[in-house]
Structure 1
Amino acid sequence: MYKIVYEENDVVIRFEKDLIDQETMSRFLGRISLQSMLKKGNASGAAARMRMKNRLSTFPTGFDLIRDPALNKGTAFTAEEREALGLRGLLPPRIHSIDEQVERVLWNLRKKPTDLERYIFLTSLQDRNKTLFYRVLLDNIEDLMPIVYTPTVGLACLQYGNIFRRPRGIYLTLEDRGRVAEILGNWHRKDIRIIVVTDGERILGLGDLGADGMGIPVGKLALYTACGGIQPSLTLPVTIDVGTNNEVLLKDPLYIGCRHPRVRGEEYDDLIEEFVLAVQQMFPGAMIQFEDFANRNAFRLLQQYRDQVCCFNDDIQGTASVTVAGLFSALRITGGDLKDQKVLFLGAGEAGIGTGDLLVSAMVDAGLSQEDARRRCWFVDSKGLIVKSRTDLTGHKLTYAHDHEYCADFLAAVESLRPTAIIGVSGQAKRFDRQVVEAMARINERPIVFSLSNPTSKTECTAEEAYTWTEGRAIFASGSPFDDVVINGKKFKPGQGNNVYIFPGVGMGVMASWATSVTDEMFLVAARTLAAEVSETDLRVGRVYPPLPRIREVSQAIAMAIAELAYSKGLASRQRPEDLEDYITSLVYEPEYQPYV
């Protein structure tokens, strides 16, 4: 790990590279320099001393320091730091290591009676000590990711107004038109590289939650840091609040958003465009991730801006990448060839169509024509099988409307089409019922069953159901985590097809290369890289994704692949480092306390 070393008047300060942002480091060095001069009695000139004094006044000390979550160490401040930074008497006298602090956090966490209480506890920790929060999360990622993100974040969004403690990120409303850049400028960090933005209309499978959907950008960015190593100071969550059509929220006195019906049309589009342009002005080089926009806006906004700015839609492209990666892994178990697969999707929204498009690209790479590849992807929406004879189809669904008899329900489609894989992205619980799964087991020796809808309450079937109804022959993956399942004495470890395997690595690769756009090819490369990280041991227990404790290693591999692609395709806007892997490693945030004196 590289070091930044500063020396003055026998005082040596060392900073891990990129663990403290440039602005904070500059302010801190100004403070230490002045302290050193005062202690040494250095009288090198009133002007120099005045410059140092001015720099000192901008760096937090005392209460301000321990209330700054980016700098706070709590009881881990050393005796020297307490003396130098005006902390004596403000903290209990016992000095604890970060490991002891982690132990205290976990002790308290285990005492919480519900997952929502654990979510509130962890977000409160993030508000007061970011380093400790990320250390706890990273060291316990398998246990805590379901608390910080799905499925618990869905429950948190449903009750966001009730559990609201402290504002996070930027909220934009229609009243801010003409001032969006100014409002983005209110954010206390100026070097922003990753933005996650939502309008709250389609939060997970829970529908329109308006401003209460802010829990999703906040949670996603926590995973960018924990799983991808993105410096937290480089991230910004944004909610664009144009109202909500959720009558429960509109009548709720504790709702935190605008209390009017959702605005659409030109007013909506103008606000989105102003936001996108303001990001280019205020945070040049930042990547925008569109998150949980409804179908009516998700596809068209991606189409409108993907070639203009550095952006992507995680529900369309991230979900597609992790799902295709799961299929790559599943075929290592079945021994099948990608171009011979027939995939039936339950759900023809962002996730389904996005996955179909990326799967077609992968099949074309495998040797099929685009037309033949599309004919291997079939969709069932709320009105039945998507076929050419239907007259109600519009938009992206038309691409996958094939010549075939109409089937009114999913089971009939399975029996008629005889797919090798079924993928649930419908947000409708229990749609992969016993009849459907048993039909898949009758048609295939190793049926591929991906039940990807979130949160757990919306999943098409559980891991236990899939394994039990197929007598352990199913290759299963889900959007939410499930416990291990034992069938006939064999233990299965179901894989979680969570986008967290994709977007943190993509973000790091884009950030490292300063890529000017995020392409579909990047997500196909990410899918192949993720699948390659699945070991034979993983496959033997039925897991089609790597274990979560390896997530940073996986994200680094994806970041390397994305950066390499950006440089090879001429998408990188900065010169390639001599050692790209070493450079990316140097950017990785490690949640460790830095010595201040």
Structure 2
Amino acid sequence: MSELSASKMHQGVKILHDPIRNKSTAFTDAERDALKLRGLLPPRIHSLAEQEMRVLGAIRSKVNDLERYLYLIGLQDRNETLFYRVLMNHIEEMMPLVYTPTVGKACQEFGHIYRIPRGLYIGPSDRGHIREVLDNWPHKNARIIVVTDGERILGLGDLGANGMGIPIGKLSLYTACAGIHPTQCLPVMLDVGTNNEELLNDPLYNGVERRRIRGEQYDALVDEFITAAQDMFPGVLIQLEDFGNANAFRLLQQYRQKTCLFDDDIQGTGAVALAGIISALRITGGELSDQRLLFLGAGEAGIGIADTVVAALVDEGMSVEKARQHCWFVDSKGLVVSDRGEISASKRPYAHKHAAAGSFIEAVKALQPTAIIGVSGQAGAFSREVIEVMGEINQRPIIFALSNPTSKAECSAEQAYDWSQGQAIFASGSPFEPVERGSRTFVPGQGNNAYIFPGVGLGAVASRARRVTDEMFLRAARTLAEQVTDQDLELGRIYPSLSRIRDVSALIARDVAAIAYSQGLSDREEPEDIMADIESQMFQPVYPHYA
């Protein structure tokens, strides 16, 4: 084969194997000639809408959600424009497949279903060369990095390198929900080992075969990564995802003032839960300052929610000390109280003076909360007795079962509505189907971080913000709550329909960007119309013209 003919063949095949440029059967006759694709594709030219129809048929024919996930990820690897067209046009159907709850199962099986690499893996052997690893990424315009070390994947625990499914899924939502261009999204796995014996004994596990590194070695790896990422991609936003409690809080505190960085499990969860509480109060008629919140679980999510609620109360004029008195925690040892003994630094601000309570139901009876918030990963922890007692205490009890995936939820939507005689105001982390009860249909709200982090991220990168602040998350929570309509509330839904999530993300981005500009956190000149500027930067899934 001549050099010229080889070059032509490479040109044609290469574009078909590039998920960013590939249009598959949508290439026109002129494009097929110009790009040397003639004969490499079936002769029929299909529109993007027709291709979408084919994809939907294929997905819906699959026998289970994991097979649907695999088909969608395969499509993402072949044709990103078509993938995002399907995801965005059918977000309520597709989001549970590309993210929670299906992504949890995919992470558990990651080594067994692995097909095509996506993202970057960085481990202890890369120390001293992490910038070189980042330089191997083909897209030099990364604006958002989602990074995990796989220690606390959803409610599933330590999944090691299998946790790469989480950054991949989160970044898919950044594009679908907020319009961050796919080439600007970089998933990163800090593969520091795993303490999961099952994975260490699995011959198909993809990660390093060693137990987790800790201490100085771990910190040095993280620091080199964050420094190299800032150097390689100036102004990049780094989102910490699914780190263990021991590292998540301290890494956030260590780096949040030095770089554009946030922890979604702490700050994103806090904002989405606060938004749900604000919306629920439109039903109960109460004020935030009247609420007593009881958390089951005192990890990143619970503390993040409490800190955000406290910030909102302080913003309303309450002192920090008094605001913290509105939030109580039950952990594995019972009610967190001041005289219990050794208490971790993150829990200590919420260790109030009170008699001990060894179980959650004891704490409910003693404290008489207006809302219970489950972030424990303990399936079924909100028992019938717990829900019934909450219904006796409150005319409209607020029941948030936020643990992911669905199998880890503290109770189901049906249980919450049935055991409360239809009076519960319910939200969950993973989706539940509508519940028929008598003549009413209840549509459960999904307190999914996807309502928050894409908009915050878009606002930060659009404004070139140097920091992501607590005020931005507080504003994001209020903006989200403002998008809940009276019609939503009539259905029992305290979050907007997922079909509106792209519009909601744009509004959050506008408000986040406005804070960045007003507080001098951006060197970019504030645009005359922030919303128009945000919308102009949002990716649309349409094919380019090549000829």
Q: Same fold (TM over 0.5)?
A: yes
1:10-159 alignment to 2 at 5 Å?
61-159=11-109
Once the two structures are overlaid, the 10-residue window that deviates more, 566-575 or 546-555, is 566-575
Secondary structure of the residue aligned to 2:190 is strand
Matched, 1:334 2:315: no
Question: What is the rounded CA distance, in whole Å, between the counterparts of 1:365 and 1:334 in structure 2?
Answer: 22
Counterpart selection for 1:348 from 287, 290, 298: 298
Residue 111 of structure 2 is matched in structure 1 by: 161
Alignment-mate amino acid for residue 318 of structure 1: G
CA contact (8 A) 1:338 1:366 kept: no
Shift in Å, 1:372: 1.1
Counterpart selection for 2:146 from 180, 196, 214: 196
Alignment-mate amino acid for residue 595 of structure 1: H
Question: What is the rounded CA distance, in whole Å, between the counterparts of 1:148 and 1:229 in structure 2?
Answer: 16
Shift in Å, 1:61: 2.7
| Post-superposition CA distance 1:19-38 (Å, at most 9, x none) | xxxxxxxxxxxxxxxxxxxx
The list of structure 1 runs, each at least 4 consecutive aligned residues, that deviate by more than 3 angstroms after superposition, is: 57-60
In structure 2, relative to structure 1, the CA distance for the partners of 1:176 and 1:112 (3 Å cut) is: same
| Post-superposition CA distance 1:199-218 (Å, at most 9, x none) | 00000010111111000000
Question: What is the rounded CA distance, in whole Å, between the counterparts of 1:368 and 1:466 in structure 2?
Answer: 32
Matched, 1:536 2:521: no
Residue 127 of structure 2 is matched in structure 1 by: 177
Secondary structure of the residue aligned to 1:439 is helix
Give ranges in structure 2 of 5+ residues lacking alignment. none
Alignment-mate amino acid for residue 160 of structure 1: F
Alignment-mate amino acid for residue 561 of structure 1: D
CA contact (8 A) 1:339 1:367 kept: no
Shift in Å, 1:60: 7.3
Residue 398 of structure 2 is matched in structure 1 by: 448
Matched, 1:507 2:457: yes
Counterpart selection for 2:191 from 230, 234, 241: 241
Question: What is the rounded CA distance, in whole Å, between the counterparts of 1:579 and 1:115 in structure 2?
Answer: 42
Shift in Å, 1:106: 0.8
| Post-superposition CA distance 1:382-412 (Å, at most 9, x none) | 1000001100212111100111000000000
Secondary structure of the residue aligned to 1:581 is helix
1:287-298 alignment to 2 at 5 Å?
287-298=237-248
CA contact (8 A) 2:154 2:242 kept: yes
Alignment-mate amino acid for residue 140 of structure 2: K
Alignment-mate amino acid for residue 355 of structure 2: E
| Post-superposition CA distance 1:261-308 (Å, at most 9, x none) | 111011000000000000111001000000000000000000000000
Question: What is the rounded CA distance, in whole Å, between the counterparts of 1:305 and 1:295 in structure 2?
Answer: 16
- Number of aligned residue pairs: 542
Secondary structure of the residue aligned to 1:396 is coil
Alignment-mate amino acid for residue 366 of structure 1: E
1:178-327 alignment to 2 at 5 Å?
178-327=128-277
CA contact (8 A) 2:507 2:531 kept: no
| Post-superposition CA distance 1:222-273 (Å, at most 9, x none) | 0000011111110100000011000000000000000011110110000000
Alignment-mate amino acid for residue 220 of structure 1: K
Secondary structure of the residue aligned to 1:554 is helix
Give the TM-score taking structure 2 as reference length. Answer: 0.98
| Post-superposition CA distance 1:555-590 (Å, at most 9, x none) | 000000000011111111211122221111111111
Rg larger for: 1
Matched, 1:558 2:508: yes
Question: What is the rounded CA distance, in whole Å, between the counterparts of 2:302 and 2:415 in structure 1?
Answer: 22
Counterpart selection for 2:408 from 458, 464, 468: 458
CA contact (8 A) 1:230 1:589 kept: yes
Question: What is the rounded CA distance, in whole Å, between the counterparts of 2:47 and 2:440 in structure 1?
Answer: 42
CA contact (8 A) 1:453 1:478 kept: yes
| Post-superposition CA distance 1:8-49 (Å, at most 9, x none) | xxxxxxxxxxxxxxxxxxxxxxxxxxxxxxxxxxxxxxxxxx
| Post-superposition CA distance 1:136-159 (Å, at most 9, x none) | 000110011000000000000000
Secondary structure of the residue aligned to 1:450 is strand
CA contact (8 A) 1:446 1:473 kept: yes
Secondary structure of the residue aligned to 1:348 is coil
Question: What is the rounded CA distance, in whole Å, between the counterparts of 1:179 and 1:200 in structure 2?
Answer: 21
Shift in Å, 1:58: 12
CA contact (8 A) 2:465 2:521 kept: yes
| Post-superposition CA distance 1:454-475 (Å, at most 9, x none) | 0001000000000000111000
CA contact (8 A) 2:294 2:327 kept: yes
Residue 488 of structure 1 is matched in structure 2 by: 438
Identical-pair percentage? 61
Alignment-mate amino acid for residue 120 of structure 1: L
Question: What is the rounded CA distance, in whole Å, between the counterparts of 2:201 and 2:497 in structure 1?
Answer: 43
In structure 2, relative to structure 1, the CA distance for the partners of 1:192 and 1:59 (3 Å cut) is: farther
Residue 3 of structure 1 is matched in structure 2 by: none
1:343-382 alignment to 2 at 5 Å?
343-382=293-332
Question: What is the rounded CA distance, in whole Å, between the counterparts of 2:394 and 2:314 in structure 1?
Answer: 24
Shift in Å, 1:592: 0.8
Residue 397 of structure 1 is matched in structure 2 by: 347
In structure 2, relative to structure 1, the CA distance for the partners of 1:333 and 1:58 (3 Å cut) is: farther
Question: What is the rounded CA distance, in whole Å, between the counterparts of 1:216 and 1:92 in structure 2?
Answer: 36
Question: What is the rounded CA distance, in whole Å, between the counterparts of 1:394 and 1:73 in structure 2?
Answer: 53
Shift in Å, 1:162: 0.4
Question: What is the rounded CA distance, in whole Å, between the counterparts of 2:316 and 2:221 in structure 1?
Answer: 42
Question: What is the rounded CA distance, in whole Å, between the counterparts of 2:523 and 2:435 in structure 1?
Answer: 48
CA contact (8 A) 1:75 1:96 kept: yes
CA contact (8 A) 1:310 1:515 kept: yes
Question: What is the rounded CA distance, in whole Å, between the counterparts of 1:211 and 1:120 in structure 2?
Answer: 18
In structure 2, relative to structure 1, the CA distance for the partners of 1:473 and 1:60 (3 Å cut) is: farther
In structure 2, relative to structure 1, the CA distance for the partners of 1:433 and 1:59 (3 Å cut) is: farther
Matched, 1:383 2:333: yes
